Structure 1
């Protein structure tokens, strides 16, 4: 079983990054398509009311992301522990972590669903749902909430599978889910005339199939870490470790939803239903850039975690450098594509003239900072893989909580709707500077102390102390 992960410490970094990232990037692009498909078909089904229907899905999206965030915390925290345990040959620890991720997926899903179902209208109002948007958002979310356990489990276990170095399986699972969703959407929405409700049911059923696929992979012991039922019993120490490491990604996802409370309320005030619909479409189109950047960082995580456990620090430095180059290039390329084809892309969802006018203007401002976002994502992933909860937590807060929310609150008072759009590139620049400052410190340490499988205890201690002290200053 150990040999299934040993390639993480032996193969060339460039080849490893491609092998681990390429399937994830494909999967993330499919996931981006997954996110867009519902909105596309809703726009086609509702015609003249498409702006309100799209607005309903836009408001529902951050609430759905809160559900996914619980899977993210289990997946990122669990995968960090597992990848380092595999590198250090601590197989039992990896198996205990996998078992706890399974049991926590069910427990957290129930905890999430109860308040959501009891207070859904109140939650939607907090997120800025207008009277025209509210019915669509409610109808969509009621079914998504009922399927919460499949979203949490699926997201969590996909991260675990990647931590083992099996990025191809994670990609295949995403392809299956997205492909099924694309097929089921028109069946339920057009064939059965279920509208927004049909879109939600199609999404849940697709996630059910993906989760079953992952479950059978784990139960049959096909991975480097085998599932053992005795480890389903929650272990307080492992839960604390998962939480402390995964809290960065959790907060990043939650902060995105919290941020959208401020954004949607500002949009409703200064632009109405049209601005809300435009923002929802831009966010989903932008996922074709952001999710692949995240996919590259997911490919980096097992390399950093394994080689940190194996004390091969020079490999970590090389992996960070190559990943930063790739994320910056892709962010720039994605931005240019969206800039050149803005009207055509927006027109896929609605032909409403006001929607197209507002959307074309918004894209030109909102997405300016995308080439800088890769550094923030990579930095947070590196600290998660190293088990450094504090800096990953800070970075997860920076872009959306520390910078974006204050800007969304302040700028519209001076520039109205343009102030909401401008808050995004400004926050990207500020988080870029903070991420670069933190990452550069540990990058230099790894580069100066490349290490080896036979590194002395003194040098290992020096690197560990250097990383810790660099984060304390």
Structure 2
């Protein structure tokens, strides 16, 4: 290991969390930004058909989310085990986990396209496609499925690199692939007049370039762990642990896909393509708040995992407390900006006055509880980092599966379209309260263990 990860147990928590979170935040913001650019270019390129194009991307996104959910589940499960093993100085198990993660990811990248390719139209119809936006959604989805290998390895390896404490490598990869995506968007959509298909091709090529960068990182021996051929063989215990720990993150991503499936169908019923397009833009604006919060959680994960493995519970609690303060501030700032200037953001993507007017109302309602989102994200990350699969699973699914989806179905019956938008802040509040209850119990447990060891 050459001591490359030992700073996780010694460096000042304030500077350490910033050191690990800042690169993740930058990388994730670039990722969110190029999703916005995709939508911007498609909206501007299609002119009068901008509503249908944006709606098409929104319909296709749940399919992309399923691929991302599987990848993030493998990556989070693997990174949790690796960071704890590094903290416990068990390099051999960490390297066996690394090998099994590679094998797991390869299998997923082969099986997912096979599963979805023959049923693309049926899946998109299930996700709420209408006769008008289906051609756009299909063009985008087919290309994304062809690039599954790039998505799976890219997301998994980013998680593993962060688990080692090499957040700058993960950031460089995300910034590089994000900027490349933006450049390719402009070239393919406008230069080659490829429309929505060009946006999808740009995304896949950028992800492929980022994946190549991370594969080289491991092959070139820059990681504290060695990728050995003898470890790239299936080992039941390793695969089981990766799956159980990462299952919460998989459910979080898959529940996002399920949420979009339900939401798109509800929106199609109550508001049609216009409302689907409104949600497509609003959800991307919300990502500008969520990505920095997730970035903090990415910085937190290796700190908690390493120090939990090293039984340094005081440092674990310090990092939890600080991360909750930071994410709450981020939530407040995001709320203030999006609540005050919603129309400004919608005008960037389209000149359609109905889209802008409806978008202003929707976004103002949806951001009402963003200050409490960090409580759920941080709590989920803590339980994943310490290897407690059950509470991480409950917290990862509570916001969207237990709370948001039922509210999206129920509230519009009484409040029409406004009920859909109201479901978001209500589910955020409910998930925040449950998360606060569970993480407070764990925090006190760590305090008790730290007292016994001192």
| Category of TM-score, reference length = shorter chain | over 0.9
Map of 1:32 onto structure 2: 32
Map of 1:208 onto structure 2: 208
Deviations 1:335-375 (A, max 9, x none): 11112221111111111011011100101111111110000
Contact 1:323 1:378 in 2 (8 A): yes
Whole-angstrom distance in 2 between the partners of 1:337 and 1:171: 25
1:248 equivalenced with 2:248 (yes/no): yes
SS in 2 for 1:89: coil
1:102 equivalenced with 2:102 (yes/no): yes
Q: State the 1:447 CA deviation.
A: 2.2
Gaps of at least 5 residues in structure 2 are none
Moved more, 224-233 or 397-406: 224-233
1:191 equivalenced with 2:160 (yes/no): no
Contact 1:72 1:246 in 2 (8 A): yes
Contact 1:85 1:94 in 2 (8 A): yes
Whole-angstrom distance in 1 between the partners of 2:108 and 2:69: 11
Whole-angstrom distance in 2 between the partners of 1:291 and 1:145: 24
Q: State the 1:124 CA deviation.
A: 0.4
Q: After superposition, where does 1:1-150 map in structure 2 within 5 Å? A: 1-150=1-150
SS in 2 for 1:450: helix
Map of 1:449 onto structure 2: 449
Whole-angstrom distance in 2 between the partners of 1:14 and 1:448: 23
Q: State the 1:253 CA deviation.
A: 0.5
SS in 2 for 1:128: coil
Deviations 1:82-137 (A, max 9, x none): 00000001001111111111111111111111121100000000110111110000
Q: State the 1:2 CA deviation.
A: 4.3
Map of 1:173 onto structure 2: 173
If the length of structure 1 is used for normalisation, what is the TM-score?
Answer: 0.95
If the length of structure 2 is used for normalisation, what is the TM-score?
Answer: 0.99
SS in 1 for 2:224: coil
Contact 1:2 1:89 in 2 (8 A): no
Moved more, 335-344 or 239-248: 335-344
Map of 1:160 onto structure 2: 160
Map of 1:413 onto structure 2: 413
Contact 2:98 2:227 in 1 (8 A): yes
Contact 1:24 1:170 in 2 (8 A): yes
Contact 1:188 1:202 in 2 (8 A): yes
Whole-angstrom distance in 2 between the partners of 1:253 and 1:351: 32
Q: State the 1:328 CA deviation.
A: 0.2
1:291 equivalenced with 2:291 (yes/no): yes
Map of 2:403 onto structure 1: 403
Contact 1:24 1:295 in 2 (8 A): yes
Whole-angstrom distance in 1 between the partners of 2:395 and 2:439: 10
Contact 1:313 1:451 in 2 (8 A): no
1:347 equivalenced with 2:347 (yes/no): yes
- RMSD over aligned Cα atoms: 1.0
Q: State the 1:451 CA deviation.
A: 6.2
Map of 1:356 onto structure 2: 356
Map of 1:368 onto structure 2: 368
Whole-angstrom distance in 2 between the partners of 1:330 and 1:407: 26
Deviations 1:39-78 (A, max 9, x none): 0100110000000000000111121011111110111000
Moved more, 162-171 or 96-105: 96-105
Deviations 1:243-266 (A, max 9, x none): 000000000000011011111111
4+ residue stretches of structure 1 with deviation over 4 A?
none
Q: State the 1:401 CA deviation.
A: 0.3
Contact 2:403 2:430 in 1 (8 A): yes
Gaps of at least 5 residues in structure 1 are 457-473
Whole-angstrom distance in 1 between the partners of 2:2 and 2:72: 25
Give the count of matched residue pairs.
Answer: 454
Contact 2:338 2:364 in 1 (8 A): no
Whole-angstrom distance in 2 between the partners of 1:64 and 1:284: 14
Contact 1:312 1:451 in 2 (8 A): no
SS in 1 for 2:351: coil
Map of 2:234 onto structure 1: 234
Contact 1:24 1:299 in 2 (8 A): yes
SS in 2 for 1:361: helix
Whole-angstrom distance in 2 between the partners of 1:348 and 1:386: 42
SS in 2 for 1:422: helix
Deviations 1:431-461 (A, max 9, x none): 0110000000010121233269xx49xxxxx
Map of 1:469 onto structure 2: none
Whole-angstrom distance in 2 between the partners of 1:451 and 1:233: 42
CA spacing shift, 1:4–1:451, aligned 2, 3 Å = farther
1:425 equivalenced with 2:405 (yes/no): no
Moved more, 439-448 or 208-217: 439-448
Contact 1:2 1:86 in 2 (8 A): no
Whole-angstrom distance in 1 between the partners of 2:74 and 2:268: 34
Whole-angstrom distance in 2 between the partners of 1:128 and 1:70: 22
Contact 1:412 1:420 in 2 (8 A): yes
